[in-house]
Amino acid sequence: LTQKEFKETVEVITEISSDIGAQVIETKQKTVDGKKIGIIKVNSRSNQLEHLIIGTAGHVDHGKSTLLGAVVTGQPDNGSGKARSYFDVQPHEIERGLSADLSYGVYGFDEKGKPIKLKNPLNNQEKSEVISNGVKAVSFVDTVGHEPWLRTTIRGIVGQKLDYGLLVIAADDGVTHVTKEHLGVLLAMDLPTIVAITKTDLVNDEKTEKVVEETTRLLRKVGKVPYRIRDKKDIKTVLKKQNEILIPIIKTSAVTMEGIPLLDRLFYCLTPREKQSEGPFRMYIDKVYRVTGIGRVVSGTIMTGKIKSGDKVLLGPIDNEYREVKVQTIEMHHHRVEEASAGEIVGISVKGAEKTDIERGMALISPESEPKTVREFKADIVVLNHPTKIETGYEPVIHIETISEAAEFTEIKGGYITAGEKTEANLKFKFNSHYLHEGQKFIFREGKSKGIGTVKKIIN
């Protein structure tokens, strides 16, 4: 093969792969007996359900929940927030029209790539059928746009093992300081991101284009390459060049349904990020509740490994130790399954612990991991924003997985650190021990001060 022939071959196979929901994931060339050989690796669908998890981000009232409502139902919004009601379900959310906590939604695709929409996304039976009948499920973690609830937004982005971020920017408002803040959180977690310009029905084309240009400048400023998606050909181009630097931009309206078919196609073609299905089971707990007839249930996203009904796992730390519990049932979007693996959002009923013993931020872990209770750890940190210098004794809130707790900087290499600098530091949780391991990324914040870090070493 000549270089030109190889390039053309890759383009043809990429297009064919996209049409069937597969994707070229690796290309390389080598020489054998003096001849050039091209190797193209394409992922293929298995009988196992493919699961994509997407988290929203964006300013309050920019239409995150409304957009998702239109996507999962395939029905337009009435202009008064009807579609939003499928995600904002608490009485105060409905009354104020503002999301106050994380909410979840799902839709899927059949073997031909046709979207499986829900007539009523609040109907548990319909959600279950997406899991049982589809070949691919797309789960949405809808975060909060109100600035005082940034902590909840960070929990949704950091603690749910997302595959992609969906940053929503309203055409009638444009980029705001919250937009920039949420984009910063997505980038800090190295999340591939998609931008949806919403509410295009409320403004003229000129205003929409100004917001697109404003968004483009913002993305370029943080080292990203914005790419407009106008049709399915553009989606194929994005898939060919898919990486964390390229950020697709799609104009949408939940009222006119502009851009919704393009989002459907993009979500169908995107592949989940690589999951660690092998190795010990680990899941951080996000919510705890009781289900009549089932008992105590904890929910979260499986970080690594697999879990089966009947397995015995460790829960904790509880009073600085781990307690053995038994997995009774596992559900994924209200569909009962016997087994679940890394990257899936599940509810697990457990026996052996009371609700008062279980808190958000605790973990379910395979006994073979021999987990330790961690109070202090060493980390590589980067300060993104701080008015002065950070010294020992500084106590921000640490967001790591579903853990959210104040921690003290007990030691800083060099004595102090200022905005824009990197260093090594020891941090100690203020109140509780947690389950941590090396390599985990986290965000720390205190007021308008923010930074990111990576766990380098467990101290105790």
pLDDT at position 426 is 97
* pLDDT attached to residue 13: 79
* Phi, psi for residue 189 in degrees, rounded to 5: -90, 10
* CB contact at 8 A, 353 and 312: no
pLDDT of residue 183: 93
Tens digits of per-residue pLDDT, 279-333?
899 999 998 988 877 788 999 999 999 999 999 999 999 999 999 999 999 998 8
Q: What is the reported pLDDT for 293?
A: 77
Q: Say which residue, 145 or 233, is predicted with more confidence.
A: 233
**Are the C-beta atoms of residues 299 and 321 closer than 8 Å to each other?**
no
Q: By percentage, how much of the chain surpasses pLDDT 70?
A: 91
Q: How far apart are alpha carbons 87 and 434 in whole angstroms?
A: 31
Domain with CATH 3.40.50.300 in the chain: 50-269
Query: Higher-confidence residue: 436 or 35?
Result: 436
What is the pLDDT, as a whole number, of residue 102?
80
Amino acid 103 reads S
Query: What's the mean pLDDT in 123-135?
Result: 88
Residue 411 pLDDT greater than 80, yes or no = yes
What secondary structure does DSSP assign to 250-274, as a single string? EE--TTT-TTHHHHHHHHHH--PPP
- State the Cα–Cα distance between residues 168 and 359, nearest whole angstrom: 31
pLDDT band at 92 (very low <50, low <70, confident <90, very high): very low
Alpha-carbon gap, residue 229 to 341, rounded angstroms:
33
Query: How far does Cα 416 stand from its chain's mean position?
Result: 33
Q: Find out whether 86 and 75 touch, Cβ atoms under 8 Å.
A: no
Q: What is the distance between the alpha carbons of residues 201 and 77, in angstroms, rounded to a whole number?
A: 11
Residue whose C-alpha is closest to residue 365's, from 412, 424, 409, 323: 323
Of 418 and 91, which is predicted with more confidence?
Answer: 418
Write the class of the CATH domain 282-369. mainly beta
pLDDT score of 147 more than 70:
no
pLDDT band at 244; cut points 50, 70, 90: confident
In this predicted structure, the answer to whether residue 421 has a pLDDT above a threshold of 50 is yes
Q: What rounded mean pLDDT belongs to the chain?
A: 87
194-212 tens-digit pLDDT: 999 999 999 999 999 999 9
In CATH, which of 3.40.50.300, 3.40.1400.10, 3.90.550.10, 3.70.10.10 is domain 50-269? 3.40.50.300
Per residue in 260-278, pLDDT (tens digit) is: 999 999 999 998 887 666 7
pLDDT number for residue 206: 97
Residues of the chain with CATH 2.40.30.10: 282-369, 376-458
Structure tokens at 77: 């919004």
Q: Which residues neighbour 312 within 8 Å (Cβ) at sequence distance 6 or greater?
A: 324, 325, 326, 327, 367
- Which homologous superfamily is 376-458 in? Translation factors (2.40.30.10)
